[in-house]
């Protein structure tokens, strides 16, 4: 049974105990309403639509009432018409077909003698007009803009605004009317006219010129509003038309922006509004706020700007949270325009960090970071560190990052820089981004003269607290790297207490971390590696034996990574002649170009020094894969490994090479296979921080930049995969250079072919391995390898052509295939007869299709063979 | 530009809603309103009553058991919006003579009509109490 009146329906819905009950009531009622609509029950229509609007508000479907609304609009009863239009506004939007049926009713009603009916029509058109309606009814609205009735004029102005939003070219139709509306005496009309003109200026900058002429008029309006006494007709909560003032100020802002003359004309009145407006209530502050925005955006006098910033400063001390919030938001926007003026309010801003409202704390924090510069970095950082201690956890990671970046950029000296980051790690070591940590480690490695100081500090900090992950990681790494310096320094003072440090102490500490509740895989990896490094830094044999015992304990770790490491390290003890070299201190990494923006660093991949180390990794791993799988040629690999590990004396190479069937080789292959099983691209990007060993055995730090990293390192690994004898030593020497592929080592075995990269574009790479023909020194054989590194799909219909200068002759053999799957290699041999023994210059043409549908036709030149091959 | 007016009671029930150029399916609308009411209820007295919500800014004031919420675009004057809420409530109060939640519930059409006098397509038309109420009262007379 349907409820008959809206009131009854509402009561029935209120009486529902559950959502299901409510749904049932509404479904039943909706069905009844539908039936009633079908029966064309004219008397019930009003009530039904009213109920539908209620149902609509509750979030139930009510679209079936759209047509009924149109019927109500056509009614002669005012109440029906009003409800009908309301229904249209609520149930329809401009995209609905039904809307076209409204146009005619609107047109009729806009010409109605009853001003309220005209008002309803304008309201409806202004709310839901589609472009078609806008065109159809533009003339009516234009006419109504000139109506003698205030009520109609003010609504028509906003209607016009909707029309030009929908059909911008209709703007001209309203231009002259809008101008005349600006001198209207009625405040309602002025308000809507200002809104309309603001919109026009916004949409079409050409109109700015027209309306700049109206600036004096606007100034007059504003002046009379500011100086007017109480008038019941314009009063809104005790202030004369605050909304009109706000609108005029906003229009002034648009008109004054970038125009000296208009700005000049506004200076006085802006100063007047800024000084005379009552600031004890929110209403007044809303006007002041708008004034500040206008002052900051137009070409105002500097005195006025100071006044504006001071208003915001005063806002900051206001007890109303909303006003403080608005002030901080605005200061955040203006801080880049006028930093010095904002600096004056630094202390209040810092006070806001302790505000009870998290929104305010967040804004204040943003602003504090924006204020840091060379001169105040010490003070502000101290404040921010104090805040970091008590900050909400959700702020911490952002804060640690920003504090460290600010320290990077403005640090007065290295010691302060190290102290600051150390403090950050102590306070919020569990909220530090990985790159911040590696930046810190790089900083330490670069600051050689403070190594002793830093290692002692970190040792003391770690001893005091092993719960802060980043602090643990940094300390463990640094102690591992500079353990000898730590021990050599002996006891040291920390906060007026003399601290003893001996080799067993350090191992105790490390053991406590391993056993502690905060250890995770990453910390274990770090600790094991650091312990291993300490075996070459420490001198006491019992301590070294203890370390060995600890490492052996992890030979059965269920974490594959840890187990692998432990086994590799314990095996390394069998090679005491190379162990120290393997565990050498890592070379001092070069600075990245943009330490201030770590995220950028990631995207720029191997651009800097850090990247090269990564390249090195990629190389060794990739080469290993190939070597181990493809050949028995293990000396070569050993050599490479030894050189990476040792990163130094090449005589280790000599030691190793002769022993072909020696167990060393096997162990070394073990080392090789190590990395190959985990060629995860997830290498630590900022490898300067870590020991080569560390990198070789890829760590799997949880990296937020995994994808980026992955990409960059894949790219770097790939090119080297067929570079058969790239010597990582060279790359190490060549830190910072990105041209890894051209870093070539002299071959360790005479017949090992060297490879040159002749072409590397779009993921397609061509390598040339030349070797002299054994029978004829005038002939150079070149093995060409085509490598689909990252084309992303199969390479098909490969056509490779080469040409040589006239003095030389060329012979080409067919390629092993004309299709290359991703990651695969195709080879082809060419012979160059070079009787005059001059430089071999090759012109190459590469044509191929990708299975994804692309076609590549490219030309390259190569003439980089060393003279030996001529 | 103003995007919506919402009156929500302490139980999170929507008592009035008016959207301007916000196209949402009924279900999405219900979810969003529930979300907003949760956010408003969660904010303590010590917190500011302006906050960001999805692509909008929200400003709300609480009168007895009802939250009056306005959603608007960033460019609007935040403080003036708070004033607008208050002006609207004062006008409702004058019209209903001490407005309460039930007045709004049972006279939702009137609440709409008053708002139509004040705001058109998300822009303010009129804020003076008398100027808003005079035509509404006049229209009421005609309707009878």
A139-160 pLDDT per residue, tens: 999 999 999 999 999 999 999 9
Q: Which residues of A touch B14 (CB under 8 A)?
A: 57-59
Q: What percent of chain A has pLDDT over 70?
A: 81
B135 near A CB under 8 A:
yes
For residues A746-774, b (16+ Cβ closer than 10 Å) or e, as one string?
eebeeebbbbbbbbbebbbbbbbbbeeee
Cβ B131–A323 below 8 Å, yes or no?
A: no
Q: Which residues of A touch B9 (CB under 8 A)?
A: none
Asked if residue A86 has pLDDT above 50, the reply is yes
User: What was the pLDDT predicted at A610?
Assistant: 33
User: What was the pLDDT predicted at A819?
Assistant: 85
Q: What is the pLDDT of residues B43-69, one digit of tens each?
A: 877 788 999 899 999 999 999 889 999
Asked if residue A81 has pLDDT above 80, the reply is yes
Cβ B135–A116 below 8 Å, yes or no?
A: yes
The Cα of A132 is separated from the nearest Cα of chain B by a number of Å equal to 17
DSSP β-ladder status, A239-240 and A235-236? antiparallel
Q: Which residue has the higher pLDDT, A31 or A489?
A: A31
Q: What is the pLDDT of residues A110-147, one digit of tens each?
A: 999 999 999 999 999 999 999 999 999 999 999 999 99
Asked if residue A800 has pLDDT above 50, the reply is yes
The Cα of A461 is separated from the nearest Cα of chain B by a number of Å equal to 38
B78 near A CB under 8 A:
yes
Q: Which residue has the higher pLDDT, A315 or A493?
A: A315
User: What was the pLDDT predicted at A227?
Assistant: 86
In chain B, residues 83-102 whose CB comes closer than 8 Å to chain A? 83-84, 86-87, 90
The Cα of B137 is separated from the nearest Cα of chain A by a number of Å equal to 11
H-helix or E-strand containing A712? helix A706-717
Binned at pLDDT 50, 70 and 90, residue A766 comes out as confident
Q: Which residues of A touch B112 (CB under 8 A)?
A: 86, 90
Cβ A86–B112 below 8 Å, yes or no?
A: yes
Question: Hey, how many other C-beta atoms are within 10 angstroms of the C-beta on A375?
Answer: 11
Cβ B121–A282 below 8 Å, yes or no?
A: no
Q: Which residues of B touch A282 (CB under 8 A)?
A: 79, 82-83
Asked if residue A669 has pLDDT above 70, the reply is no
User: CA of B131: which chain A residue's CA is closest?
Assistant: A233
Of B17, B79, B143, the CB nearest to A285: B79
CA distance A809 to A110: 91
Binned at pLDDT 50, 70 and 90, residue A608 comes out as very low
Strand partners, A494: A497
Best of B7, B121, B142 to mutate (most A CBs within 10 Å, chain A): B121
In chain B, residues 15-74 whose CB comes closer than 8 Å to chain A? 16-18, 20, 23, 26-27, 29-30, 33, 46-51, 59
Q: Which residues of B touch A250 (CB under 8 A)?
A: 77
CA distance A685 to A435: 8
CA distance A336 to A353: 20
Domain A756-862 grouped into CATH 2.60.40.1230: yes
| Angle between helix A42-57 and helix A19-38 axes, rounded to 10 deg | 150
CA distance A120 to A126: 10
Q: For domain A97-180, give the fold.
A: 1.25.10
Q: Of A413-422, B39-48, B117-126, give the lowest mean pLDDT range.
A: B39-48
Cβ B113–A61 below 8 Å, yes or no?
A: no
The Cα of A7 is separated from the nearest Cα of chain B by a number of Å equal to 6
CA angle A418, A423, A428 (to 5 degrees): 130
In three state form, how does the secondary structure of chain B look? CEEEEEEEECCCCEEEEEECCCCCCHHHHHHHHHHHHHHHHHCCCCCCCEEEECCEEEEEEEECCEEEEEEECCCCCHHHHHHHHHHHHHHHHHHHCCCCHHHHHHCHHHHHHHHHHHEECCEECCCCHHHHHHHHHHHHHHHC
Cβ A191–B109 below 8 Å, yes or no?
A: no
User: What was the pLDDT predicted at A758?
Assistant: 85
User: CA of B140: which chain A residue's CA is closest?
Assistant: A79
User: What was the pLDDT predicted at A2?
Assistant: 60
| Average pLDDT score over residue span A479-501 | 83
Residue with tokens 């008398």: B130
Query: Among A466, A503, A511, A464, which Cα is nearest to A485's?
Result: A503
Question: Hey, how many other C-beta atoms are within 10 angstroms of the C-beta on A489?
Answer: 16
Q: Of A640-644, B17-21, B86-90, give the lowest mean pLDDT range.
A: A640-644
Structural domain boundaries of chain A? 1-91, 97-180, 447-583, 756-862
Q: What is the pTM of this model?
A: 0.67
Of B33, B83, B125, the CB nearest to A282: B83
The contacts of residue A277 (CB under 8 Å, 6+ apart) are A226, A284, A287, A288, A291
The Cα of A318 is separated from the nearest Cα of chain B by a number of Å equal to 12
Binned at pLDDT 50, 70 and 90, residue A591 comes out as low
| Average pLDDT score over residue span B24-33 | 92
Residue with tokens 């302006």: B50
Binned at pLDDT 50, 70 and 90, residue A682 comes out as very low
User: What was the pLDDT predicted at A493?
Assistant: 76
Structure tokens at A517: 């509740």
Asked if residue A8 has pLDDT above 70, the reply is yes
Q: What is the pLDDT of residues A335-360, one digit of tens each?
A: 887 788 889 899 999 999 888 888 89
DSSP A265-299: HHHHHHHHHHHHS--SSHHHHHHHHHHHHHHHHTT
Best of A124, A152, A236, A328 to mutate (most B CBs within 10 Å, chain B): A236
User: CA of B52: which chain A residue's CA is closest?
Assistant: A359
User: What was the pLDDT predicted at A3?
Assistant: 65
Q: What is the mean pLDDT of chain A?
A: 80
| Average pLDDT score over residue span A756-764 | 84
Given the cut 0.95, state whether the ipTM is greater than it: yes
User: What was the pLDDT predicted at A159?
Assistant: 96
Q: What is the pLDDT of residues A189-231, one digit of tens each?
A: 999 999 999 999 999 888 999 999 999 999 999 999 988 877 7
Q: Which residues of A touch B123 (CB under 8 A)?
A: 158, 161, 192, 195
H-helix or E-strand containing A594? none
| Average pLDDT score over residue span A823-847 | 84
Best of A7, A57, A294 to mutate (most B CBs within 10 Å, chain B): A57
Cα distances (Å, whole numbers) of residue A110 to A107, A145, A261, B78, B143: 5, 12, 41, 34, 19
Q: Which residues of A touch B70 (CB under 8 A)?
A: none
3-state secondary structure of A765: strand
User: CA of B110: which chain A residue's CA is closest?
Assistant: A83
Q: What is the pLDDT of residues A414-471, one digit of tens each?
A: 999 999 999 999 999 999 999 999 999 999 999 989 999 999 999 999 989 999 999 9
Query: Among A457, A394, A463, A466, which Cα is nearest to A429's?
Result: A466
Q: What is the pLDDT of residues A615-627, one digit of tens each?
A: 333 333 333 334 3
Cβ B128–A78 below 8 Å, yes or no?
A: no
Fold agreement (A97-180, A756-862)? no
The Cα of A678 is separated from the nearest Cα of chain B by a number of Å equal to 42
| Average pLDDT score over residue span A732-741 | 39
User: CA of A193: which chain B residue's CA is closest?
Assistant: B125
User: CA of A320: which chain B residue's CA is closest?
Assistant: B48
Domains of chain B (ranges, CATH numbers): 2-143 (3.30.450.60)
Q: Which residues of B touch A8 (CB under 8 A)?
A: none
Query: Among B12, B2, B1, which Cα is nearest to B36's?
Result: B12
User: What was the pLDDT predicted at A663?
Assistant: 42
| Average pLDDT score over residue span A842-870 | 82
Cβ A241–B18 below 8 Å, yes or no?
A: no
Strand partners, A784: A768, A828
DSSP A788-850: ESS-SS-EEEEEEEEE--TTSEEEEPPPS-S-B-TT-EEEEEEEEE-TT-----EEEEEEEEE
CB pairs under 8 A between A and B: 158
Q: Which residues of A touch B84 (CB under 8 A)?
A: 243
Cβ B128–A188 below 8 Å, yes or no?
A: yes
Cβ A243–B83 below 8 Å, yes or no?
A: yes
Asked if residue A773 has pLDDT above 60, the reply is yes
User: CA of B1: which chain A residue's CA is closest?
Assistant: A195
B130 near A CB under 8 A:
yes
Binned at pLDDT 50, 70 and 90, residue A753 comes out as low
Q: Which residues of B touch A54 (CB under 8 A)?
A: 108
Q: Which residue has the higher pLDDT, A585 or A94?
A: A585
Query: Among B74, B89, B19, which Cα is nearest to A236's?
Result: B89
User: CA of B7: which chain A residue's CA is closest?
Assistant: A57
Q: What is the C-alpha end-to-end distance of chain A, expressed in Å?
A: 103
Cβ A50–B49 below 8 Å, yes or no?
A: no
Asked if residue A630 has pLDDT above 70, the reply is no
Q: Of A23-27, A406-410, A819-823, B134-138, give the lowest mean pLDDT range.
A: A819-823
Of B87, B120, B131, the CB nearest to A155: B120
Q: Which residues of A touch B138 (CB under 8 A)?
A: 116
In the β-sheet with A809-812, what is the strand arrangement from edge to edge? A756-761, A764-772, A779-788, A825-833, A809-812
Q: Which residue has the higher pLDDT, A45 or A496?
A: A45
User: What was the pLDDT predicted at A526?
Assistant: 94
| Average pLDDT score over residue span A512-522 | 91
H-helix or E-strand containing A157? helix A150-166
């Amino acid at each position: 049974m349907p409820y008959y009146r809206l009131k009854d329906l509402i009561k029935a819905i209120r009486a529902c105990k559950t959502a299901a009950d409510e749904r049932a009531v509404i479904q039943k009622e909706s069905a009844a309403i539908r039936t009633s609509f079908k029966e064309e029950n004219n008397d019930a229509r009003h009530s039904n639509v009213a109920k539908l609007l209620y149902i609509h508000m509750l979030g139930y479907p009510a679209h079936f009432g759209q047509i009924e609304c149109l019927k109500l609009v056509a009614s002669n009863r005012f109440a029906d018409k009003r409800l009908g239009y309301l229904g249209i506004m609520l149930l329809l939007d401009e995209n609905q077909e039904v809307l076209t049926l409204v146009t005619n009713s609107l047109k009729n009603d806009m010409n109605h003698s009853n001003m309220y009916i005209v008002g309803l029509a304008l309201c409806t058109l202004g709310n839901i007009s589609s472009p078609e309606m806008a065109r159809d009814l533009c003339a009516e609205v234009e006419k109504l803009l000139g109506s003698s009735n205030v009520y109609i004029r003010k609504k028509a102005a906003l209607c016009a605004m909707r029309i030009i939003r929908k059909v911008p070219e209709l703007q001209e139709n309203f231009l002259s009317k809008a101008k005349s509306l600006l001198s209207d005496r009625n405040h309602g009309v002025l308000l809507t006219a200002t809104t309309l003109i603001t919109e026009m200026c916004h949409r079409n900058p050409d109109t700015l010129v027209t309306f700049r002429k109206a600036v004096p008029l606007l100034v007059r309006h504003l002046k009379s509003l500011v100086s007017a006494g109480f008038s019941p007709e314009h009063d809104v909560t005790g202030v004369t038309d605050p909304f009109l003032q706000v609108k005029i100020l906003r229009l002034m802002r648009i008109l004054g922006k970038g125009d000296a003359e208009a700005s000049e004309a506004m200076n006085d009145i802006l100063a007047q509004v800024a000084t005379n407006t009552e600031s004890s209530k929110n209403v007044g502050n809303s006007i002041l706020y708008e004034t500040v925005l206008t002052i900051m955006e137009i070409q105002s006098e500097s005195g006025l700007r100071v006044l504006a910033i001071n208003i915001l400063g005063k806002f900051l001390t206001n007890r109303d949270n909303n006003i403080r919030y608005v002030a901080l938001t605005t200061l955040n926007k203006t801080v880049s325009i006028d930093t010095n003026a904002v600096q004056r309010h630094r202390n209040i801003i810092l006070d806001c960090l302790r505000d009870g409202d998290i929104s305010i704390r967040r804004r204040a924090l943003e602003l504090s970071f924006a204020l840091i510069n060379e001169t105040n970095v010490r003070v502000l950082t101290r404040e921010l560190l104090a805040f970091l201690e008590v900050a909400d956890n959700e702020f911490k990671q952002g804060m640690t990052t920003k504090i460290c970046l600010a320290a990077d950029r403005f640090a007065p000296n290295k010691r302060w820089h190290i102290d600051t980051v150390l403090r950050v790690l102590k306070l919020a070591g569990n909220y530090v981004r990985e790159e911040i940590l590696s930046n810190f480690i790089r900083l330490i490695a670069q600051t050689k003269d403070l190594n002793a100081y830093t290692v002692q500090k970190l040792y003391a900090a770690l001893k005091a607290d092993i719960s802060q992950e980043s602090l643990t990681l940094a300390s463990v790494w640094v102690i591992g790297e500079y353990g000898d310096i730590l021990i050599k320094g002996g006891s040291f003072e920390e906060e007026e207490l003399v601290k003893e440090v001996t080799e067993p102490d350090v191992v105790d500490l490390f053991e406590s971390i391993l056993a502690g509740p905060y250890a995770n895989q990453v910390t274990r990896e770090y600790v094991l590696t650091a312990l291993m490094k300490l075996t070459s830094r420490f001198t006491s044999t019992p301590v070294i034996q203890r370390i060995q015992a600890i490492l052996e304990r992890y030979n059965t770790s269920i974490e594959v990574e840890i187990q692998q490491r432990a086994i590799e390290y314990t095996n390394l003890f069998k090679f005491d002649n190379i162990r120290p070299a393997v565990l050498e201190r890592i070379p001092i990494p070069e600075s990245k170009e943009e330490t201030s923006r770590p995220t950028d660093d990631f995207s720029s991949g191997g651009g800097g020094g850090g990247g090269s180390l990564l390249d090195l990794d990629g190389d060794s791993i990739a080469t290993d894969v190939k070597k181990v799988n493809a050949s028995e040629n293990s000396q070569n690999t050993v050599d490479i490994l030894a050189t990476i590990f040792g990163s130094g004396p090449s005589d280790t190479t000599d030691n190793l090479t002769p022993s072909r069937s020696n167990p060393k080789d096997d162990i070394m292959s073990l080392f090789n296979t190590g990395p190959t099983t985990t060629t995860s691209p997830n290498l630590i990007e900022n490898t300067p921080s870590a020991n080569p060993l560390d990198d070789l055995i890829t760590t799997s730090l949880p990296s937020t930049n995994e994808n980026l990293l992955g990409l960059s390192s894949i790219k770097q690994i790939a090119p080297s995969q067929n570079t058969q004898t790239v010597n990582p030593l060279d790359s190490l020497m060549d830190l910072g250079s990105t041209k890894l592929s051209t870093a070539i080592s002299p071959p360790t075995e005479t017949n090992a072919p060297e490879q040159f990269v002749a072409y590397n574009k779009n993921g397609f790479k061509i390598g040339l391995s030349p070797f002299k023909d054994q029978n004829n020194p005038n002939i150079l054989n070149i093995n060409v390898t085509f490598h689909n590194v990252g084309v992303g799909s199969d390479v098909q219909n490969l056509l490779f052509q080469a040409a040589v200068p006239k003095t030389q002759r060329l012979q080409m053999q067919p390629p092993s295939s004309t299709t290359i799957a991703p990651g695969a290699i195709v080879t082809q041999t060419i012979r160059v007869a070079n009787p005059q023994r001059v430089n071999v210059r090759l012109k190459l043409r590469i044509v191929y299709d990708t299975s994804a549908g692309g076609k590549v036709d490219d030309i390259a030149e190569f003439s980089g063979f060393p003279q030996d091959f001529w | 530009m103003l995007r919506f007016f919402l009156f929500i009671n302490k139980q999170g029930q929507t008592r009035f809603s008016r959207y301007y150029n916000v196209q949402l399916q009924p279900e999405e609308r219900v979810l969003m309103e529930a979300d907003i009411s949760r956010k408003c209820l969660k904010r303590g007295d010590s917190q500011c009553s302006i906050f960001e919500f999805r692509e909008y800014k929200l400003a709300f004031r609480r009168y007895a058991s009802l939250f009056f919420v306005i959603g608007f675009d960033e460019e609007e004057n935040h403080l003036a919006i708070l004033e607008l809420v208050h002006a609207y409530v004062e006008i409702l109060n004058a019209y209903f003579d001490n407005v309460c939640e039930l007045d709004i519930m049972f006279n939702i059409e009137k609440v709409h009509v008053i708002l139509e006098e004040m705001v058109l397509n998300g822009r303010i038309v009129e804020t003076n109490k008398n100027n808003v109420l005079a035509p509404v009262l006049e229209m009421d007379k005609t309707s009878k």
